[in-house]
């Protein structure tokens, strides 16, 4: 796809024009983050590896949602190690984190793999943490919405309030992956934490939204980053089974689409290290032909 013009400030609301494909940012004093939405199985991992070859050295931090990274459902230790070898710093997740049962065996031992923080007390793993990269401390919080997802979860708004009281004592840079179904719940959360969170980005629907914005209080926001995987699919899955489900109402086994060309979706964000405010947020989208991946074996 053709590269659009450089992003331009569109006024006091902090909007930035999106570029479908943006060059790596120059390194500087601000924290530069590449946040990636749901990666779908092997195609999603291939797309991620392809993009990281260009961007890994140009950003300070890479965060990836990995709940669909192993066969489209959950994560395994092998896939976790593969993603770390690519240069992924931190991993978030959502409702599919438990789909591969072996995750119970290692999630407590890997602090860089998060599950939603608003699961009830006693659930394995951790939902947030304060980390340090290149001498700069930052907090990452993983939360899950409740609308059309899981009513057994604790209130994500109240959970954020509780965690914020703790992590804000250590750093002004607070990043939130808000894994949720509805745009209204995501937008409500974004405005609720505006001025407290540095960045709120949505995951879960697999469909990228074009509403990236810097909110009035300085919080970077996007409703959904979108998925990485085969673009000619039904949110990463083979269309035939999904269509059968919709046309006949019979339960189907969904499988990851692996034969089509790929798409990568992420966001590039710059955050002021002193104030914790977002200075810039842009969508990064690349369509990748399979023949471009000859050297990217995953």
Catalytic residues, which ones? Answer: 96
User: Which residues, 6 or more positions from 121, have their beta carbon under 8 angstroms from its beta carbon?
Assistant: none
Question: Bridge-partner residues for 138, per DSSP?
Answer: 131
Using CA atoms, how far residue 284 sits from 64, 242, 267, 293, in Å, is 14, 28, 5, 18
Look at strands 174-179 and 90-92 and give their pairing: unpaired
């Amino acid at each position: 796809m053709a590269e659009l013009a450089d992003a331009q400030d569109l006024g006091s609301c902090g909007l930035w024009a999106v570029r479908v494909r943006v060059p790596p940012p120059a390194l500087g004093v601000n924290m530069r983050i590449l946040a990636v939405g749901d990666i779908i199985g092997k195609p999603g991992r291939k797309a991620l590896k392809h993009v990281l070859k260009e961007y890994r050295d140009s950003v300070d931090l890479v965060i990836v949602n990995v709940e669909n990274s192993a066969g489209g459902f959950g994560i395994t230790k092998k896939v976790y190690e593969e993603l770390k070898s690519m240069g992924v710093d931190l991993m978030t997740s959502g409702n599919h984190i438990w789909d591969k049962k072996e995750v119970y065996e290692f999630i407590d031992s890997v602090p860089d793999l998060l599950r939603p923080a608003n699961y009830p007390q006693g659930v394995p793993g951790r939902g947030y943490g304060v980390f340090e990269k290149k001498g700069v401390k930052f907090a990452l919080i993983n939360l899950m919405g409740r609308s059309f997802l899981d009513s057994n979860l604790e209130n994500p708004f109240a959970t954020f309030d509780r965690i914020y009281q703790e992590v804000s004592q250590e750093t002004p840079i607070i990043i939130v992956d808000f894994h949720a179904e509805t745009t209204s719940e995501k937008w409500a959360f974004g405005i609720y934490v505006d001025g407290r969170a540095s960045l709120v980005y949505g995951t879960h629907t697999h469909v990228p939204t074009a509403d990236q914005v810097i909110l009035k209080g300085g919080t970077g926001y996007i409703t959904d980053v979108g998925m990485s995987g085969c673009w000619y699919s039904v949110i990463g899955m083979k269309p035939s089974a999904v269509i059968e489900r919709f046309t006949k109402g019979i339960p189907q086994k969904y499988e990851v689409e692996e034969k089509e060309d790929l798409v990568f979706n992420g966001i590039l964000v710059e955050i002021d290290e002193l104030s914790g405010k977002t200075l810039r947020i842009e969508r990064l989208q690349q369509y990748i032909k399979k023949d471009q991946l000859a050297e990217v074996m995953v």
